[in-house]
Amino acid sequence: MAALTPEERDVLAAIQDGLPLVREPYAAVAHRLGLGEARVVEIITSLLAERKIKRIGAVPNHYALGITANGMSVWDVPDAVATDAGRRLGERDAVTHCYKRPRHPGWPYNIFGMVHGASREAVIASVEQIARDLDIARYPHDVLFSTRLLKKRGTRVRAAADDAGA
Protein backbone atom coordinates (compact mmCIF):
# COMPACT_ATOMS: atom_id res chain seq x y z
CA MET A 1 0.00 0.00 0.00
CA ALA A 2 2.46 2.53 -1.27
CA ALA A 3 -0.33 5.10 -1.38
CA LEU A 4 0.32 5.85 2.31
CA THR A 5 3.18 7.78 3.89
CA PRO A 6 4.87 6.07 6.85
CA GLU A 7 3.22 8.60 9.18
CA GLU A 8 -0.25 7.92 7.72
CA ARG A 9 0.37 4.21 7.97
CA ASP A 10 1.28 4.52 11.65
CA VAL A 11 -1.82 6.55 12.43
CA LEU A 12 -4.09 4.07 10.62
CA ALA A 13 -2.42 1.10 12.27
CA ALA A 14 -2.93 2.75 15.66
CA ILE A 15 -6.68 3.30 15.20
CA GLN A 16 -7.83 0.53 12.87
CA ASP A 17 -8.97 -1.75 15.70
CA GLY A 18 -10.80 1.11 17.39
CA LEU A 19 -10.43 4.67 18.63
CA PRO A 20 -9.57 5.13 22.31
CA LEU A 21 -12.91 5.61 24.08
CA VAL A 22 -11.86 8.67 26.07
CA ARG A 23 -12.81 12.35 25.92
CA GLU A 24 -9.82 13.26 23.75
CA PRO A 25 -9.26 10.21 21.55
CA TYR A 26 -7.02 11.89 18.97
CA ALA A 27 -4.79 13.33 21.68
CA ALA A 28 -4.48 9.81 23.11
CA VAL A 29 -3.46 8.42 19.71
CA ALA A 30 -1.01 11.30 19.23
CA HIS A 31 0.53 10.64 22.62
CA ARG A 32 1.01 6.96 21.80
CA LEU A 33 2.72 7.81 18.50
CA GLY A 34 4.78 10.73 19.80
CA LEU A 35 2.99 13.18 17.50
CA GLY A 36 0.99 16.32 18.22
CA GLU A 37 -2.80 16.10 18.37
CA ALA A 38 -3.10 18.69 15.59
CA ARG A 39 -0.93 16.55 13.31
CA VAL A 40 -3.03 13.43 13.95
CA VAL A 41 -6.23 15.39 13.29
CA GLU A 42 -4.72 16.75 10.08
CA ILE A 43 -3.65 13.28 8.87
CA ILE A 44 -7.02 11.68 9.60
CA THR A 45 -8.90 14.59 8.03
CA SER A 46 -6.89 14.32 4.83
CA LEU A 47 -7.25 10.51 4.70
CA LEU A 48 -11.02 11.04 4.93
CA ALA A 49 -10.93 13.66 2.17
CA GLU A 50 -8.97 11.27 -0.06
CA ARG A 51 -11.48 8.52 0.78
CA LYS A 52 -8.69 6.26 2.05
CA ILE A 53 -10.77 6.18 5.20
CA LYS A 54 -14.37 5.57 4.11
CA ARG A 55 -15.84 6.69 7.39
CA ILE A 56 -15.26 6.89 11.14
CA GLY A 57 -17.85 5.85 13.68
CA ALA A 58 -19.76 2.90 15.01
CA VAL A 59 -19.29 -0.33 13.07
CA PRO A 60 -22.36 -2.33 14.11
CA ASN A 61 -22.25 -6.07 14.37
CA HIS A 62 -25.54 -6.30 12.52
CA TYR A 63 -25.86 -10.05 13.02
CA ALA A 64 -25.74 -9.63 16.79
CA LEU A 65 -28.34 -6.86 16.51
CA GLY A 66 -30.86 -9.03 14.72
CA ILE A 67 -30.21 -8.03 11.11
CA THR A 68 -29.37 -11.60 10.25
CA ALA A 69 -30.49 -11.98 6.65
CA ASN A 70 -28.03 -10.89 4.00
CA GLY A 71 -29.29 -11.02 0.44
CA MET A 72 -27.29 -10.22 -2.66
CA SER A 73 -29.85 -8.93 -5.15
CA VAL A 74 -28.62 -9.30 -8.72
CA TRP A 75 -30.18 -7.75 -11.81
CA ASP A 76 -29.80 -8.18 -15.54
CA VAL A 77 -30.15 -4.56 -16.62
CA PRO A 78 -29.55 -3.52 -20.26
CA ASP A 79 -26.11 -1.88 -20.50
CA ALA A 80 -27.53 1.42 -21.75
CA VAL A 81 -29.43 2.00 -18.50
CA ALA A 82 -27.30 -0.04 -16.06
CA THR A 83 -25.44 2.92 -14.56
CA ASP A 84 -28.65 4.81 -13.94
CA ALA A 85 -30.28 1.74 -12.36
CA GLY A 86 -27.22 1.11 -10.20
CA ARG A 87 -27.19 4.69 -8.93
CA ARG A 88 -30.87 4.61 -8.05
CA LEU A 89 -30.53 1.22 -6.38
CA GLY A 90 -27.64 2.52 -4.28
CA GLU A 91 -29.80 5.38 -3.03
CA ARG A 92 -32.29 3.03 -1.39
CA ASP A 93 -32.09 2.71 2.38
CA ALA A 94 -32.15 -1.07 2.28
CA VAL A 95 -29.12 -1.28 -0.06
CA THR A 96 -25.75 -1.24 1.69
CA HIS A 97 -23.38 -1.90 -1.25
CA CYS A 98 -24.03 -1.51 -4.96
CA TYR A 99 -21.86 -2.38 -7.96
CA LYS A 100 -21.80 -3.04 -11.67
CA ARG A 101 -19.90 -6.23 -12.52
CA PRO A 102 -19.24 -8.22 -15.71
CA ARG A 103 -21.65 -10.89 -16.94
CA HIS A 104 -20.42 -14.43 -17.64
CA PRO A 105 -21.82 -17.35 -19.63
CA GLY A 106 -24.58 -18.70 -17.37
CA TRP A 107 -24.49 -15.54 -15.24
CA PRO A 108 -26.58 -12.82 -16.89
CA TYR A 109 -26.59 -10.33 -13.98
CA ASN A 110 -24.60 -7.09 -14.11
CA ILE A 111 -25.95 -5.02 -11.20
CA PHE A 112 -25.40 -6.19 -7.62
CA GLY A 113 -27.09 -4.64 -4.58
CA MET A 114 -26.63 -6.00 -1.06
CA VAL A 115 -29.83 -5.91 0.96
CA HIS A 116 -29.94 -6.66 4.69
CA GLY A 117 -32.95 -7.38 6.83
CA ALA A 118 -34.31 -9.15 9.88
CA SER A 119 -35.38 -12.17 7.85
CA ARG A 120 -35.22 -13.57 4.32
CA GLU A 121 -38.88 -12.68 3.88
CA ALA A 122 -38.11 -9.08 4.85
CA VAL A 123 -35.23 -8.94 2.36
CA ILE A 124 -37.34 -10.38 -0.46
CA ALA A 125 -40.17 -7.96 0.34
CA SER A 126 -37.77 -5.06 0.23
CA VAL A 127 -36.23 -6.21 -3.08
CA GLU A 128 -39.71 -6.46 -4.62
CA GLN A 129 -40.64 -3.03 -3.27
CA ILE A 130 -37.48 -1.57 -4.82
CA ALA A 131 -38.21 -3.33 -8.12
CA ARG A 132 -41.64 -1.68 -8.25
CA ASP A 133 -40.49 1.74 -7.09
CA LEU A 134 -37.60 1.92 -9.55
CA ASP A 135 -39.58 0.30 -12.35
CA ILE A 136 -36.95 -2.43 -12.81
CA ALA A 137 -39.19 -5.41 -11.97
CA ARG A 138 -39.25 -6.36 -15.66
CA TYR A 139 -35.53 -7.11 -15.69
CA PRO A 140 -34.56 -10.63 -14.64
CA HIS A 141 -33.38 -10.61 -11.04
CA ASP A 142 -32.62 -12.96 -8.21
CA VAL A 143 -31.62 -12.81 -4.54
CA LEU A 144 -28.75 -14.96 -3.27
CA PHE A 145 -28.78 -15.42 0.49
CA SER A 146 -25.67 -16.23 2.41
CA THR A 147 -26.06 -19.45 4.33
CA ARG A 148 -22.65 -19.33 5.97
CA LEU A 149 -19.91 -16.82 6.54
CA LEU A 150 -16.80 -18.85 5.76
CA LYS A 151 -14.19 -16.12 6.25
CA LYS A 152 -14.12 -12.41 7.05
CA ARG A 153 -11.30 -10.04 7.76
CA GLY A 154 -11.47 -6.26 7.38
CA THR A 155 -9.12 -4.18 5.27
CA ARG A 156 -6.04 -3.58 7.38
CA VAL A 157 -2.74 -1.78 7.02
CA ARG A 158 0.62 -2.62 8.56
CA ALA A 159 2.47 -0.10 10.70
CA ALA A 160 5.46 1.46 8.89
CA ALA A 161 7.85 -0.26 11.32
CA ASP A 162 6.36 -3.71 10.57
CA ASP A 163 6.69 -3.00 6.88
CA ALA A 164 10.39 -2.26 7.12
CA GLY A 165 10.93 -5.66 8.69
CA ALA A 166 8.78 -7.55 6.17
User: Interface residues for other proteins in 5-24 (CB under 8 A)?
Assistant: 12, 15-19, 21-24
Tell which positions 24-43 bind other proteins, by CB under 8 A.
Answer: 24-27, 37, 41
Min CB(67)–other proteins separation in Å = 6
Q: How far is the C-alpha of 100 from the C-alpha of 150, rounded, in Å?
A: 24
* Residue 117 CB, nearest approach to other proteins (Å): 10
Assign 97 to helix, strand or coil: strand
Give 17's strand partners.
none
The span from the CA of 112 to the CA of 86, in Å, is 8
Burial class (CB in 10 A: 0-12, 13-18, 19+), 102: exposed
Among 53, 123, 130, 136, binds other proteins (CB under 8 A): 53
Instruction: Please identify which residue in 6, 156, 161, 162 interacts with other proteins, judged by CB under 8 A.
Output: 156
Report if residue 122 touches other proteins, rule: CB under 8 A: no
